[in-house]
Structure 1
């Protein structure tokens, strides 16, 4: 019995041979049949759907591939652009960080250079002030007597208004500098990690500035003390020179002639001229030069005054028994000229020279009894009479305060005393005039 497939009750449709399609798919019992050129190939349903699925997948794959190739250029362009954007952003970030590192390093270099410059300025100033302190240390103390003594280096500065001359304290006791570490060693690493590791010494700008400020403030105080010392010393020398010239003028002495006749100080040595400060020199150097000139003048005037008999011939309290001028003669009871001063004393009290000079008389001299006469140059002479003993001889060079004899009562005398005379060009003048000059100079016996 012929099989008609699934067409129940209906005979299969037949086509003429010429009307059959070349390819045809017809349903067959339990599957599908493919007719080709009159031949029939039967396919099961599983294989059929596998073939259909494969065709569909191939079609989808073809469509996807076509779409991919159609749009791949845009996708690649966007991907490349995105990658380029990310790369540029990364490079910009790196460049920004690198610039930040460079700025930080440059700032560190600038801060270090500024610190080094400030520190170098402070150290140069310290060295200058130390040299000035050494120069001030060579200045003598000018006492009220005009004598030149050794400088008191350890005298503290307490009061600028006191009579003593203040001395500057040593700079090393006030400022202590520590040499800065090597700059290249600190700037050897310039990586961001080194910068972010923590604050370094250079990062503490405020602290460094405070230290520099304190150092400069301390140096300012030292410099002000040095200026005060210079002012006090200069004023002391100038006032001393004025006072000594005034005393010589009041005594009726020719100051220029006496200074010219005064022996020069020192013994010898090579001649080294004093350097005159230039117009560009600091005020300290100029003032120090003026002080040295005034100091030399005071020393020359001191040598001149060493030949002026303004000191007392006896030690201790002065008690005059007779003054200079007209008095009643103790022997005759008549007015007579007394050419000197009588200093009351005890027998054997030492009699001292009132100025430097040379002994021109030593022996018995009429009413003077035993007498010593000293020539001080420039027409000045002194006489010491009524001595009980003479300790010098003619031609001896006498120093100030040297004992020339002893108080006595030889010659025309009524009791132990010293008859003291001062003469200018052989004419007696009041010795109290010279003693008052000694008081003005602050001279002690």
Structure 2
């Protein structure tokens, strides 16, 4: 049938298309219906797009993979750089903290050494106060803080500083953590630093107190030596209140610390005080007839035998016959026997040109060359020699010249409080 078919679709006629394919002598006819045209075109379009997309994917796939690999490489490198930086920072912190630990340990060792020195000094200052100032100094000492009270704090700071550093390197938790470690370490460093500062301030305060007390003791020793020297000079005796100049030895440079300097000043003051004290103890400052009245003083008077003006070279003490006559100072008996107007007399050499005489004795109890201590009984009172009745004639001589014994009696009373 060659006649074309007519179809009505939406009021229109649809025509069929015939596709003629010829190959040599063979001829083929393919009829294309209108309903198959659109799907065929869609399929062809989809296949074309798929082919184009596949081709584009194959073309750009290598570039995409390269970009992804490069991105991953950059990310990995950045991560490794960050890890390396963190490790470097941790290493720096570790090194710094090791140095800080050594510095802390050295500081604590220094504090412990200072504490030990202060402890030994504390005992020496206590001894000096107890020996020289009596009960008042002991009461003051009991109120002073002890340097040993700070020893536990130092030991705690040493272990605390070491544990702080060790903990900081590990981090505050079980796992290492850089930020946590830094925060924890800063806190521990601040705490240990404040503790060391407080301890150092406490030791410095104790050292200042010790220096103050040593300075006070030095001033007191110098003032006491000055007062005693002035009293001794009032008797007419020249006293050398300086230490013995017969000294020597190799030169060894001494410590320049304030404590050692203060202690040297104190030693010098105490040496001077001992020199003055020793001089005072060798002087005849006692009373030959304690509790007895004075019947005649030193100086010009009417002579009881001749009735004319004469120099009385001593002091007469009223005393009944047989009363004890005592030495007014330590020394050596230079004469013991009868001596003209003195009657039975004892003379004692006290050194430094000072001597004393005890006259009109009824009995002599010592002999020449005998060593005498203060208050030793030399003999018995009497009325031998040029005397009108029983009494004790007492003389003090300086370089064999009679001086007023009242100077020595008054000086002895004033020095009594310093010699106890």
Q: TM-score, normalised by structure 2?
A: 0.71
Partner of 2:282: 307
Cα shift at 1:71? 1.4
1:225 to 176, 198, 209: 209
1:90 to 69, 79, 84: 79
Q: Is the 8 A contact 1:141 1:152 kept in 2?
A: yes
Q: Aligned pair 1:214/2:198, yes or no? A: yes
Q: Is the 8 A contact 2:285 2:409 kept in 1?
A: yes
Partner of 2:10: none
Q: Aligned pair 1:74/2:63, yes or no? A: yes
Cα shift at 1:336? 4.5
Q: Aligned pair 1:358/2:342, yes or no? A: no
CA distance in 1, matches of 2:53, 2:342: 154
Cα shift at 1:341? 1.8
CA distance in 1, matches of 2:22, 2:144: 143
CA distance in 2, matches of 1:167, 1:364: 62
CA distance in 2, matches of 1:113, 1:304: 57
What secondary structure, in the 3-state scheme, does the structure 1 residue paired with 2:66 have? helix
2:370 to 393, 396, 406: 396
Q: TM-score, normalised by structure 1?
A: 0.67
Cα shift at 1:240? 4.5
CA distance in 1, matches of 2:76, 2:56: 29
CA distance in 2, matches of 1:178, 1:349: 71
Deviations 1:220-265 (A, max 9, x none): 2222222223323333444455455555554444546x999x9x9x
Cα shift at 1:374? 0.8
Change (3 A) 1:358 1:344: same
**Cα RMSD after superposing both structures:** 5.0
CA distance in 2, matches of 1:209, 1:15: 104
In structure 2, list runs of 5 or more residues that go unmatched: 7-17
CA distance in 1, matches of 2:128, 2:112: 25
Partner of 1:324: 298
Counterparts of residues 228-239 of structure 1 (less than 5 Å): 228-239=212-223
Deviations 1:268-309 (A, max 9, x none): xxx99486645x723433343344344444434444443321
Q: Is the 8 A contact 1:277 1:285 kept in 2?
A: no
Bigger fraction of residues in helix: 2
1:157 to 140, 147, 155: 140
Change (3 A) 1:106 1:13: closer
Q: Is the 8 A contact 2:344 2:362 kept in 1?
A: yes
2:394 to 420, 426, 441: 420
Partner of 2:260: 285
Cα shift at 1:114? 4.5
Cα shift at 1:396? 0.6
